[in-house]
Structure 1
Amino acid sequence: MKDILQDIIANKRIEVARQEEAISLQTLVSMGSTRLDLPTRSMRAALAASEAGIIAEFKRKSPSKGWLHPEANVREVLPAYELAGASACSVLTDSLFFGGSLGDLATARKVVDLPLLRKDFIINSYQLYQARVMGADAVLLIAACLTPAECLSLAETAHSLQLEVLLEVHSQQELDHLNPHVDMVGVNNRNLGSFHTDVENSFRLAELLPKEVLKVSESGIANPQLIARLRKVGYRGFLIGETFMKEADPGLTLTHFKEAIPC
């Protein structure tokens, strides 16, 4: 099967280069100076304090499923997520493969008070400045896209910008990307090359993750009972997108999902 991740990263390198050519880092920082002075919200603390720990995701499409909710509006979906009890929100900012934009992130910051995660394929420190200026509180770093050295450098820069770091891994081999600047570790149950999903991946890696790191399970969580099982093995965050976004009313779907989680 074709490795979709290679196509995504190749496109991302071109996209970021064009963005940086259009708006230099110096200009970006100058334009966002007011935002850079504002404090960020802690996603880690929000997840640690929550009983459900749901990171509700906003995405319009995915490479594996195509369009989920093409007309979805951040101004409607995110406040509904907040009202339904989400602990944080994830906003896809990749356009070509996920139908998102940095504008979605900027809008999200205006309409909710929850911690916001910029979810994208971050390969360049310029993207971290974009995230901070647009209102993110945390960023996703994907081990499959980076070397351990690149991950360390990006995580250091993220912390210098007061952004928390969610490191995403899919296998035991990727645990070498862990570093002191990682605030949360997310186990992706979806292989980013083939997009095959196996929720048992979170259970396989649970015991291998450092005890002091807040653990997040990502992708394929469609059953409320699974949340209870994952919490028993140490997870405190659950990133869920497709389960909500494929429905006409994502916020209402989250409400019903939370109500069905076993106590």
Structure 2
Amino acid sequence: MNILDQIVANKKIEVELNKLKVKVSDLTKTQFFERENLSLSQNLKNSKSGIIAEFKRKSPSKSIINIDSSVSEVVLGYQKAGACGISILTDNQFFGGNLEDVILARNLVETPILRKEFIIDEYQIIEAKSSGADCILLIAAILSPSEIQKFSIFAKSLDLEVLLEVHEETELERNLFPSIDMIGVNNRNLKTFQVYVETSKTLSGLIPKEFVKVSESGISEVKTVNELREFDFEGFLIGENFMKTNDPGSNAIEFIKQVENGN
């Protein structure tokens, strides 16, 4: 199996175990379940930078990135930097994350939070709402169009925004549902984990204007953001570039300042 297949196989087992540990009825009783959603898509439309700053400790492609990082320090730093949103990896086995990271962040910041997860079940969407996330990720490479439509409609019923991730033309064309808020082009091939920023440029013209365009992965320089803006991208998800430093928050502050100044 490739890396993506391994992640999904593990996720199926993980979700079933979580269902046994925490009932849906308990998830809907948390302090966050009735809170009003913060809009990541609107933030991106109104922003000069469009930066979605990501918190992650490790990845299959890079192994350990920043295993000792403090969630509270990083997300507060991202908020201070003026990030439009904060993406938090919640997969534990492959990325070193968990839902507690989202809960902690939600108690600290007033920035929209994206739960970055390999969603294969509605239960995970309820978990996202329960933990204080504002937005979920749906990955076209692991879901059928009917699943994407079903999950995105369900997310909207919980007042969650939806970022659909694609990395090829077929995935995009099959999944342009009105229940999607943002289309994210992943420049990283999830099967090989190789990165090609040109993927975003290639697919940009195929994304209808009603969707907010987000470019994901492989963005480490301000000039790349500027180039992608010429292809009508409004959002730029950056994780490793910030997390590989000793102070991700300060690094984000400097990067976002340069983007906003047009450097």
TM-score per shorter chain, which class?
over 0.9
Matches within 5 A, 1:82-93: 82-93=79-90
Count how many residue pairs are aligned between Structure 1 and Structure 2. 260
1:78 Cα deviation from its structure 2 partner = 0.4
Q: Secondary structure at the match of 1:45?
A: helix
1:183 to 165, 181, 184: 181
CA deviation string 1:24-70 (max 9, x = no partner): 212222x32x4222101000001100010100000000001001000
Identical amino acids, percent of aligned pairs: 47
Partner residue, 1:199: 197
1:74 matched residue in structure 2: 71
The aligned counterpart of 2:5 is 6
Maintained 8 Å contact 2:219/2:241: yes
What letter corresponds to residue 221 of structure 1 in structure 2?
A: I
CA distance in 1, matches of 2:13, 2:176: 27
What amino acid sits opposite 1:26 in the alignment? Answer: S
For the Cα contact (< 8 Å) 1:189–1:198, is it kept in 2?
yes
Q: Partner residue of 1:223?
A: 221
Secondary structure of the residue that 2:25 maps to in structure 1? helix
Among residues 221, 237, 251, which one is paired with 2:249 in the alignment?
251
Return the alpha-carbon distance in structure 1 between the equivalents of residues 176 and 7 of structure 2.
23
Runs of 4+ in 1 over 6 A off after TM superposition: none
Q: Distance in 2 between matches of 1:157 and 1:248?
A: 39
Q: Is the 8 A contact 1:167 1:178 kept in 2?
A: no
Q: Which runs of 5+ in 2 are unaligned?
A: none
1:201 and 1:3 map into 2 onto residues whose CA distance is: 21
Shift in Å, 1:258: 2.0
Question: What is the identity, as a one-letter code, of the residue corresponding to 1:19?
Answer: N
Indicate conservation of the 8 Å contact 2:83/2:256, yes or no: no
Match runs of 1:96-175 below 5 Å: 96-175=93-172
Tell me which amino acid in the other structure corresponds to 2:55.
F
Q: CA deviation at 1:11?
A: 0.2
Counterparts of 1:255 and 1:27 in 2: how far apart (Å)? 38
**Aligned partner letter, 1:9:** V
2:54 and 2:88 in contact (8 A); partners too = yes
Query: Gapped runs of 5+ residues in structure 1?
Result: none
* Residue 25 of structure 1 pairs with residue 28 of structure 2: no
Contact conserved, 1:148 with 1:178, CA < 8 A, in 2?
no
TM-score for the superposition, normalised by structure 1: 0.97
The code of the aligned residue for 2:86 comes to C
Alpha-carbon offset, residue 77 of structure 1: 0.4
1:259 Cα shift?
A: 2.9
Helix, strand or coil: the match of 1:35?
coil
Deviations 1:73-97 (A, max 9, x none): 1110000011111111000000000
Distance 1:80 1:39 in 2: 23
Find the aligned partners of 1:254 and 1:39 in 2 and give their Cα distance.
27
1:213-241 CA distances to partner (integer Å, 9 max, x unpaired)?
10000000011111111111110000000
Which residue is 2:233 aligned to? 235
Q: Provide Cα deviations, 1:173-223, integer angstroms capped at 9, x if missing partner.
A: 101122110000000000000001001100000101111110000000011
CA RMSD of aligned residues (A): 0.9
1:47 aligns with 2:44: yes
Shift of 1:22: 1.0
